[in-house]
Amino acid sequence: MSHFTNKRQNLITFLLLSPGLAGFFGLFFYPMLVTLFRSLRPEGQTSGWTLGNYAAFLSDPDFRRIIWLTFFLAITSTLLSILLSVPLALLLRRKPVGHRLFRLTILVPITVPGLIGALGLLLFWGSRGWFNLLLLQVFRFKAPLTINYTLTGLVIFYVWHYFSYTAITTLSTLEGLDPAFEEAARVAGATPWQVLRYVVIPLIMPGILSGSVLTFMAAFGAFSIPLITGGNYRPLSVAIYKQIGIFIPARWSAASAMAMIMAALQVVFLIFYMRILRRPMA
Partner 1 sequence: MTALAKRYWHALINQKKLFVYTFLWSFFLWITSPFLIILLKSVGRNWFGKKWLPPELTLDWYKWALTIANIPQVLSNTLIIAAIAVTISTLLALPTGWALGRRKVPAKEVLTSIILLPRMIPPIAYALGIAQIFYRLHLVDTHLGVALAHVAICAPYAILVLSSTFEGLDERVLEAAAVCGASQLRTFFHVTLPLVLPGILSSIIFTFTTSYNEFTLTLMTYGPHTITLPVRTYLAVGEGYWEVTSALSIILIIPSLFVLFMVQRQVQPEKLVGGFKGV
Rounded Cα distance between 257 and 244, Å, is 13
- Least distance between partner 1 and beta carbon 28 (Å): 5
- Contact between 169 and 78 (Cβ < 8 Å): no
Q: Is 181 in the site for partner 1 (CB under 8 A)?
A: no
- Candidate ranges 49-57, 74-82, 163-171, 179-187; the one touching partner 1 (CB under 8 A): 163-171
Q: Is 276 in the site for partner 1 (CB under 8 A)?
A: no
Give me the 50-69 binding string for partner 1, x by CB under 8 A, dash otherwise.
--------------------
Largest CA distance in the chain: 87
Give me the 106-145 binding string for partner 1, x by CB under 8 A, dash otherwise.
xxxxxxxxxxxx-xxx-xx---xxx--x--xx--------
How many chain residues interact with partner 1 (CB under 8 A)? 97
Candidates 105, 152, 202, 279: give the one binding partner 1 (CB under 8 A): 105
Query: Mind giving me the DSSP string for 112-165?
Result: S-HHHHHHHHHHHHSTTSHHHHIIIIIS--SSPPP-TTSHHHHHHHHHHHHHHH
- Candidate ranges 47-55, 146-154, 158-166, 179-187; the one touching partner 1 (CB under 8 A): 158-166
- Least distance between partner 1 and beta carbon 151 (Å): 19
Q: Is 146 in the site for partner 1 (CB under 8 A)?
A: no
Work out the number of other CB atoms within 10 angstroms of the CB of residue 158.
Answer: 25
Please name the residues in contact with 220: beta carbons below 8 A apart, sequence gap of 6 or more: 70, 71, 74, 236, 265, 266, 269
- Least distance between partner 1 and beta carbon 85 (Å): 10
